[in-house]
Amino acid sequence: MRSTHHLGISIALGTLVGLLLEPTIPLLLAVAYAGVLGVGIDLDHFLVARYNTGNWNAVRTCLRSPRVVLFDQGAIFEPDAIWPIERLLTHVVAMGAIVLGLAFVDGILAILSAVVLYGHLLSDLLWDVWRHDEYLEIAARYVERNTAHDAGTKTND
């Protein structure tokens, strides 16, 4: 899902939680926090891409052309640099750490974070279901490319 979508969802959820639970910080700050958290959680994509590719090309792409971050997010990562299941896994790990850590500091902020991050994860899942056929095509090309590469490197023993 695009960052602009996550931003809108996060601001809406942050506003809702802020109005319902009266957070320990001003409402405007709570909504801003929700927006930053809902978009910032996606920074894990860069770590996964680095792990999978062995390079920081995705980060370099963003630094070379910051407009890509807002207007052409599809150009940031190579098609097989980050798989949906990896992205969702790292989100769940990060979410658990964030919410658990905040629970010891500020219960209301932990609830706000949990709601925003749950909204992020749910929207990512819906996005992935909607794009399932596209992911299957990318996976098929990946398998085909790697099978052809592996066949060319095998030796007879």
**Residue 155 pLDDT > 60, yes or no?**
no
Residue 62 forms part of a structural domain: no
Residue 52 forms part of a structural domain: no
Residue 67 forms part of a structural domain: no
pLDDT at 80: 78
Residue 70 forms part of a structural domain: no
Residue 79 forms part of a structural domain: no
**Residue 129 pLDDT > 90, yes or no?**
no
Residue 19 forms part of a structural domain: yes
Residue 56 forms part of a structural domain: no
Q: Quick one: average pLDDT of 53-68?
A: 92
Q: Quick one: average pLDDT of 84-96?
A: 93
Number of separate domains in the chain: 1
Question: Structure pTM?
Answer: 0.80
pLDDT at 157: 47
Question: How many other β-carbons are positioned within 10 Å of the β-carbon of residue 53?
Answer: 15
Residue 69 forms part of a structural domain: no
Determine the Cα–Cα distance for residues 31 and 148; give it in Å rounded to an integer.
50
Confidence of residue 43 (pLDDT cuts 50, 70, 90): very high
Q: Quick one: average pLDDT of 128-142?
A: 73
Domain that holds residue 31: 3-44+84-153
